[in-house]
Amino acid sequence: MATFYHHHHSNHHHHHHPPNTDLRRLFHRLTIASSLSILCFSLVYFLTGCCESELTENSEIKSPTSEFLVSGSGWPYERNGTSFAKESVTAAGEGALGSEHPELEANSSGKEWTATRRLPQALIIGVKKGGTRALLEFLRLHPDIRALGSEPHFFDRHYARGLDWYRSIMPKALDGQIVMEKTPRYFVTVETPARVHAMSKDVKLIVVVRDPVTRAISDYTQIISKTPNIPAFESLAFKNQTTGQIDSLWSPLWIGLYAQHMERWLAWFPRNQIHLVSGERLISDPAGELGKVQDFLGLQRIVTDKHFYFNKTKGFPCLKKPEGSSKPHCLGKTKGRTHASINPEVIQRLRDFYKPHNQRFYQMAGQDFGWQ
């Protein structure tokens, strides 16, 4: 044993450096290891901190929607107001620095982990009663979409508040994410295309269109629910019931003159920046329509048929698992109402009235939506 030890020991001295260099090397290794572990720890800490803030952000923005879904009562204005107030406060508190000077919020490891408030890169601009709420809720399943829950009506009603205000109400988003909002009235308001173009000439525009006759009846049904003692559909739809002359300026009918509205948008934006979604197909094949919208937005097709199931009583596709919940989710009570019953003769007159307008719209759109 002793000879072995001696032999080993002498060997050691012949082939290796003196012990003090060994110690030095050991010390060196320890220093590297400890600095590496500190680096790893701080990196993990930083990343989890970021994700955490992103998560809280997510829930903060989403809260108005969940409120809306539970009550299902549509968006009462006062709730709209409160959600804006809440948003503006948070914007002033945490986002004000970030939105103006993103480099202040970002640290040395790069800007991609910093969520900032940005102007939207995509807008759902129409049409009322076309299926815009459904489309927005379906799109929100996509991790790269950050959407405002309520309708801000910036370009039609609150334009005087300015782009800084508009930016301040947007949800925070990371670098690769797309910020969007929906206000169906934009499609039909005359001054909106120029205003949107002034914000961004590259913005992507989405319009959900639906058979103008059923859209008008749906619109009228919504009006009844808000003002029950309104005159009959017929008396509002016709200027003169005996001659059968249609009052195309009555809002429910005027909104359905898609070609007219589309023309105004095409004066400001190229056709390939406007994506048309069929409201009918959004119900019969939500995954197919969503696939096309994701392509248009330049996103991976993440929302697919796995996300939907068809609810027979509502007659609508619903989400199997909406974000942050294990329960399936359908749109609120105000969606999928039973339409007011209207004289078939009146409906036929409306179909005849819309026919040339629809044909003109199909030509502009480059697709036939198959409305009778």
Enzyme catalytic residues: 129
Beta bridge partners of 181: 123
Which residues of 204-257 form beta strands (DSSP E)? 204-209, 238-240, 245-246
133 known member of a binding site: yes
Number of Cβ atoms within 10 Å of the Cβ of 305: 13
306 known member of a binding site: no
Separation CA 11–CA 74 (nearest Å)? 86
131 known member of a binding site: yes
132 known member of a binding site: yes
For 205, counting Cβ atoms within 10 Å of its Cβ (0-12 exposed, 13-18 middle, 19+ buried), the class is buried
Task: Please say whether the beta carbons of 102 and 116 come within 8 A.
Answer: yes
271 known member of a binding site: no
130 known member of a binding site: yes
335 known member of a binding site: yes
Separation CA 370–CA 51 (nearest Å)? 46
Task: Please say whether the beta carbons of 273 and 203 come within 8 A.
Answer: yes
338 known member of a binding site: yes
For 148, counting Cβ atoms within 10 Å of its Cβ (0-12 exposed, 13-18 middle, 19+ buried), the class is buried
Residue 338 phi, psi (nearest 5)? -75, 125
Contacts within 8 Å (CB) and 24+ apart, 226-233: 233/340, 233/342, 233/346
192 known member of a binding site: no
72 known member of a binding site: no
DSSP 3-state of 110: strand
218 known member of a binding site: yes
**Order of strands, edge to edge, in the sheet holding 122-126?**
145-147, 178-182, 122-126, 204-209, 274-278
Residues annotated in the binding site, as ranges? Answer: 129-133, 210, 218, 335-339
Residues annotated in the binding site for 3'-phosphoadenylyl sulfate, as ranges? Answer: 129-133, 210, 218, 335-339
